[in-house]
């Protein structure tokens, strides 16, 4: 079976959907929200996307892609280079080591798995910034960010499922 040029373009475009959606989430996470104290606990949306795609389409969201998205986020947020890249690669690694359990699990179990991953993310972020600043930073904001991200998980996952069904199935 040979594909025409348009079919191939269409397929490539569809296969780019996970990457594109994750980049859009990275940008959406930077919208200034005029709520006091929001910026420090703004949900880490790209972690949700990497977690979701690493479970359902690891062929379209490999560790290299996760790394690139993290790097882009590092460059955009103006933080130290490599921190988000490291975090997203480790999220991907955590998922792929437990993928067999997660891919056939219920939504609640997936959410629980994400909660565990997010606690790890908070610890790594805190550790990385503490080492890079050479000063002990308060852990609380990272913890609250993790909790808020867990709370955002169902909504973002629902959107990702819609994208998944619209572009990559059928």
Partner 1 sequence: MKPRNSGSVVRLAAPLRALAQRFSFLLLVLASVALMMVGKIDALSVDSARARVTDAFAPILDAISRPAATAAHVVESVVQVQNAFEENQRLKAENARLLQWKQAALRLEAENLSLRSLLKATPEPSSSFITARVIAAPGSSFLRTLVVTAGRRDGVRKGQAAIAGSGLVGRVIEVGEWSARILLLTDINTRIPVVLERSRQRAVMAGDNSDQTRLLYLPPEAPVQVGERVVTSGHGGQFPPGLPVGVVSSASERGVRVQPNVDLSRVEHLQLVEFALPGSEAEPSSEPK
Residue recorded with tokens 């929001």: 38
**Alpha-carbon span 6 to 61, nearest angstrom:** 23
Residue among 46, 118, 106, 156 nearest 164 (CA): 156
Q: Contact between 22 and partner 1 (CB under 8 A)?
A: no
For residues 57, 148, 156, 22, the Cα torsion angle rounded to the nearest 10 degrees is -60
Which of 15, 58, 60, 82 binds partner 1 (CB under 8 A)? It is 82
Q: List the interface residues with partner 1, window 125-144 (CB under 8 A).
A: 125-126, 128-129, 132-133, 135, 137-138, 141-142, 144
With beta carbons less than 8 A apart as the criterion, state whether 89 and 63 touch: yes
| Of residues 74, 77, 80, 75, the one with CA closest to residue 39 | 77
Tell me whether residue 29 or residue 154 sits nearer to partner 1 (CB atom).
29
34 versus 170: smaller Cβ distance to partner 1: 34
- If binding is defined by CB under 8 A, does position 72 make contact with partner 1? yes
| Piece of the chain touching partner 1 by CB under 8 A; list 12-20, 47-55, 59-67, 102-110 | 59-67
| The token pair that represents 99 in the structure block | 């993928």
Residue numbers of the site for partner 1 (CB under 8 A)? 27-44, 62-64, 67, 70-72, 74-83, 85-86, 89-90, 92-93, 125-126, 128-129, 132-133, 135, 137-138, 141-142, 144-145
């Amino acid at each position: 079976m040979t594909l025409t040029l348009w079919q191939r373009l269409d397929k490539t475009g569809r296969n780019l959907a996970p990457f594109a959606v994750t980049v859009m989430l990275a940008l959406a996470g930077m919208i200034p929200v005029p709520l006091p104290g929001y910026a420090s606990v703004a949900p880490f949306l790209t972690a949700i996307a990497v977690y979701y795609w690493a479970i359902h389409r690891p062929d379209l969201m490999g560790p290299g892609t996760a790394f690139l998205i993290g790097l882009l986020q590092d460059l955009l947020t103006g933080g130290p280079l490599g921190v988000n890249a490291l975090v997203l690669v480790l999220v991907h690694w955590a998922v792929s080591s437990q993928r067999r359990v997660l891919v056939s699990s219920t939504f609640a179990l997936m959410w629980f798995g994400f909660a565990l991953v997010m606690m790890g993310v908070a610890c790594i972020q805190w550790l990385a910034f503490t080492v890079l600043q050479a000063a002990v930073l308060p852990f609380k904001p990272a913890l609250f960010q993790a909790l808020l991200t867990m709370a955002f998980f169902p909504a973002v996952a629902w959107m990702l499922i819609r994208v998944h069904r619209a572009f990559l199935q059928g």
